[in-house]
Structure 1
């Protein structure tokens, strides 16, 4: 019997607000696992999938330093209308903004598969399959997370970034796929801490804008297939 993942499309939402919501759901799953009466790791409801866009924001991993990866002052950042948060995921710095699909899988991996490496590779696989629907041939880059174009060439560039947090085999944070993203905001950082590599978007590669709703629909279908779960609309009301 397939497991269920509850899906909530948050639309364009402030990063801090979505982060608080993530932490709430994350802790709910952990508390459930720690409950003495909870013994059935084969439970059917295994977590949540949050989908969002954010106003301009830069986020920095918990161990990274601002001056090492962000190339503008806090004053200039404010002038750009962007915010900054140091958060509790791994990795270095990334940018989120309108036209970028951000996906937060908050899953109990013990009820799906107990393998963090597989979890990351499967998230990449969802994006690789999704982009292939649009004629983009993407792959993984050895030693790096995320999804890339022109792997093995000097023109290699990232189109999707990954960064997660894991505790008690429950995940949070996730991936960011550049769809209609304004890539100029990446000029202010060293994306994901990788020097000498560019970033791209579906718009940049294919020369047209895409429907976020259509991409989200396709993402959910592929996610269901790769993770062998049912993605169902959430009945949780979010303030």
Structure 2
């Protein structure tokens, strides 16, 4: 594990099953909550992983109906199916896709859920920009999209869960996965919407595609910057509130933080 100057600790898990990575997430959520309880809140951790081929289905009503493949086809392709407690619908994870799980104390960072989702989108947009892949938001569908042949294609999907204002789950950026595996589902439950990857976009433009190592460095850099900005703004906000609070007889400031 490495720590950035902004306090975000980064852990590269390599390749893990979805269940294994979930257990690691829970351990880090507990650590962040324990730090808050101890009166020493931390920014949190960024877990990076490539999953074994898996389709994850949320508990949203109807999400399971977006699984198009039969059990026989899934078994032949070596793709498992897992229920998940994140938000969103159905998605695919597999080798060549970078999954980032930010385990962040959103309370410490003063981030609401909407602001946090926009932060995740900005992280991916900034990372993709390094290869001149112009990502954008879609106000009707969470994630990051690129224009391809006049049609928007999703390059990164997102789904999170928040427990006592500590985040888990996160984003998946398609670097160079097996794109045929997305045909096994209706990605994110959005019928008729295309999916793309950094490799596909770079090759279409005649540019070299990034490696997974390059993509990891880009996401780490963008996430560190975005979280650092949020942390600094939260500190300034708390300082401003503290300045307006009444002082006790001893001259100390009454503060509600943490």
Could you tell me which residue of structure 1 aligns to residue 156 of structure 2? 160
| 1:187 alignment partner, SS class | helix
- TM, length-normalised to structure 1: 0.87
Given the alignment of the two structures, is residue 116 of structure 1 paired with residue 113 of structure 2, yes or no?
Answer: yes
The answer (yes or no) to whether the contact 2:64–2:90 under 8 Å persists in 1 is: no
The one-character-per-residue Cα deviations of 1:18-64 (angstroms, maximum 9, x if unpaired) are 1111112113323443x3xx345xx3x22110001011100011224
Shift >6 Å, 4+ stretches: none
Q: Name the structure with the higher helix share.
A: 2
Which residue in the other structure is 1:200 paired with?
Answer: 196
Q: Report the Cα distance in structure 2 between the residues aligned to 1:179 and 1:193, rounded to whole angstroms.
A: 21
**Would you say 1:95 and 2:92 are equivalent positions?**
yes
Match of 2:103 in 1: 106
Q: Distance in 2 between matches of 1:87 and 1:103?
A: 16
Does residue 4 (structure 1) correspond to residue 18 (structure 2)? The answer is no
Aligned 1:14-93 pairs, distance under 5 A = 14-33=17-36, 35=37, 38-39=38-39, 43=41, 45-65=42-62, 67-93=64-90
* Bigger CA radius of gyration: 2
Query: Number of residue pairs matched?
Result: 222
Unmatched segments (≥5 aa) in structure 2 = 230-258
Name the structure, 1 or 2, with higher relative contact order (CA <8 Å, separation 6+).
1
| TM-score using structure 2 length | 0.80
Structure 1 unmatched runs, 5+? 230-239
